[in-house]
Amino acid sequence: MARRKKLYEGKAKILYEGPEPGTLVQYFKDDATAYNAEKKGVIDGKGVLNNRLSEYFMKGLGQIGVPTHLIKRLNMREQLIRSVEIIPLEVVVRNTAAGSLSKRLGIAEGTALPRPIIEFCYKDDALGDPLVSEEHIIAFGWAAQQDLDDMVALALRVNDFMSGIMMAVGIRLIDFKIEIGRVWEGDFQRLIVADEISPDSCRLWDIETGRKLDKDVFRRDLGDLADAYTEVARRLGVLPSNVTHTVKPHLIN
């Protein structure tokens, strides 16, 4: 079989040409990076877990009417996705203070925020993905005002969905990042959720113990990252049934 054409290789994923026009194959690597790739590692099985988890979240979003790039998972490490024009912004939604917000504003990690806070970072590794305002985004033409309104609406729907499914398995969704892409349908453009949604791009804390179940385990050397991601996958029931100790979703009183 002819080898597929590699179109892009990022820190955690590779994009290959897809089988049909307008499609791509997204491959999940085991590589982990943090602090703009200053810290690097290879975590056995991370790509497999993120492929399954991202599929699970994107499929669920699709089922409630939030459009995403996912067409279908192909195998352990790959999924077929729609090709989009990525808006060069990381959209961060925060429910609880942590990470760069805590550092920047001196708010203790774990402080519940009065409402979800949305931030935009300009996607540029050389600049370290700086925080930007809506004024910057409009002035520099990264997105139009209508796009921004649509991005905020999408991000809040993703937040409600993700908070709910995490809460049901005893996990607090602290914050997360999504990327959004444009697709063209005739003369009309539509914004859809792209990239991935996984413990690489979320902060997830166990509700009872506060245990971190996300990439902070790697960033802050808190233990075994694959164990943490496996725990998330197990609780959500997305691991194959031969894995023992599956905690089913349950209501939290």
Interatomic CA distance for residues 51 and 53, integer angstroms: 6
The answer to whether residue 196 forms part of the interface with ligand TMP (CB under 6 A) is no
* Crossing angle of the two packed helices 225-236 and 46-63, in degrees rounded to 10: 30
Does residue 147 bind ligand TMP (CB under 6 A)? no
Residue 85 tokens read as 């024009």
Stretch that binds ligand TMP, among 71-79, 153-161, 173-181, 230-238 (CB under 6 A): 173-181
202 binding ligand TMP? (CB under 6 A):
yes
195 binding ligand TMP? (CB under 6 A): no
Number of residues that bind ligand TMP (CB under 6 A): 14
Q: Which is nearer to ligand TMP, 55 or 175 (CB)?
A: 175
Q: 140-158 burial, b if ≥16 CB within 10 A, otherwise e?
A: eebbeeebbebbbebbeeb
How far is Cα 239 from Cα 253, in angstroms, rounded to an integer? 26
**Nearest distance from C-beta of residue 201 to ligand TMP, angstroms:** 4
User: 151 to 170, contacts with ligand TMP by CB under 6 A?
Assistant: none
Q: Which of 55, 78, 90, 195 binds ligand TMP (CB under 6 A)?
A: 90
Pick between residue 20 and residue 221 the one whose CB is nearest to ligand TMP: 221
**Which of 55, 78, 129, 231 contacts ligand TMP by CB under 6 A?**
129
State which residue, 144 or 222, has the beta carbon closest to ligand TMP.
222
From residue 36, alpha-carbon distances to 9, 26, 188 in Å are 15, 21, 35
Spatial CA neighbour of 173 closest among 199, 200, 197, 204: 204
Stretch that binds ligand TMP, among 24-32, 67-75, 78-86, 91-99 (CB under 6 A): 91-99
Q: How far apart are CA 80 and CA 84, in angstroms?
A: 12
Q: Return the closest-CA partner of residue 196 out of 11, 17, 6, 4.
A: 11
Contact residues toward ligand TMP (CB under 6 A) are: 90, 92, 98-101, 121, 129, 175-177, 201-203
